[in-house]
Amino acid sequence: MLDTRPARSAAPGVLGDITVLELSQGIPGAYCGKLLAGLGSRVIKVEPPEGDAGRSLPPFAGDTPHPERSAPFLYLNTAKESIALDMARASGQSLFRRLVPEADVIVESYPPGTLARWGLSYAALSSLNPGLILASITPFGQDGPYRDYLTNEIVAEALGGLLFTIGSPGREPLKMGGNPALHNAGGAAFSAIMAALWQRDRTGQG
């Protein structure tokens, strides 16, 4: 049953009075949420009914593939609460809106325009909560000629110039281990959120 009670009272940590709705898939949003949770935020992970795509990331505990055994997923989602909502359906969108007034931050990583198509643009969300902060993590931003392009770790490393420094000339591209580009994207979003929280403390505006 969906818990729409007010956020818990301030917990230990710099962000102990902050509630985050993590509406993301994969590594960047989850890592951003992990950093916020590490500073004491209440982070509520919103997964689709089939579960976050990150649950399929190897390696798996006991070398047994299972949605509850993905080591990267378990690492990225410690100290979080979780709910399952079908955001593509009106019922899921309605339930999500019930959480927004008590949230401070939303972290999302859907393709540009997805939230607006669901009636959850920043204008719509901020009408429910003027102090809300929305962090959108996308491969190439919300607008511009690349906005609809897809990416993964090796593409991000190539476009960032990192691939130029590794591997051997004449051989296939070689990416680094550990998905540093995707983690850095989550870290950048975390930094932006911290700045936005500071600004909100000064102005009251999300």
**Residue 33, pLDDT score:** 98
- Residue 152 confidence (pLDDT): 93
pLDDT at 38 over 90: yes
Euclidean distance between CA atoms 116 and 191, whole angstroms = 24
Summarize the confidence of residues 133-162 as an average pLDDT: 94
Cα dihedral value 156, 161, 166, 171, nearest 10:
80
Residues 38, 106, 22, 13, Cα dihedral to 10°? 20
Judging by DSSP bridges, how do beta strands 19-23 and 105-108 pair with one another?
parallel
In this prediction, residue 2 has a pLDDT band, given cuts at 50, 70 and 90, of low
CB within 8 Å of 55: residues ≥ 6 apart: 67, 68, 70, 73
Return the domain boundaries, the chain. Answer: 19-203
Which residue would you say has higher pLDDT here, 8 or 37? 37
User: What is the average pLDDT value for the chain, to the nearest integer?
Assistant: 92
Q: Are 44 and 199 in contact (CB under 8 A)?
A: no
Does position 106 have pLDDT exceeding 60, yes or no?
yes
pLDDT for position 166: 87
- DSSP E strand boundaries for 12-142: 19-23, 42-47, 81-84, 105-108, 133-136
On whether the CB atoms of residues 109 and 26 are closer than 8 A, the answer is yes
pLDDT of 192 > 60? The answer is: yes
pLDDT at position 95 over 70: yes
Q: Which two tokens stand for residue 15?
A: 């962000």
- Tokens describing residue 60: 């798996």
Helical axes 27-38 vs 180-203, angle rounded to 10°: 50
Q: What is the pLDDT of residue 167?
A: 82
The pLDDT value recorded for residue 169 is 83
CATH class of 19-203: alpha beta
| Helix ranges (DSSP H) in 9-148 | 27-38, 71-76, 90-99, 114-117, 122-128
Q: Is pLDDT of 1 > 70?
A: no
What's the pLDDT at 8? 52
Confidence (pLDDT) at 165 = 87
- Write down the pTM of the prediction: 0.90
| pLDDT attached to residue 3 | 55
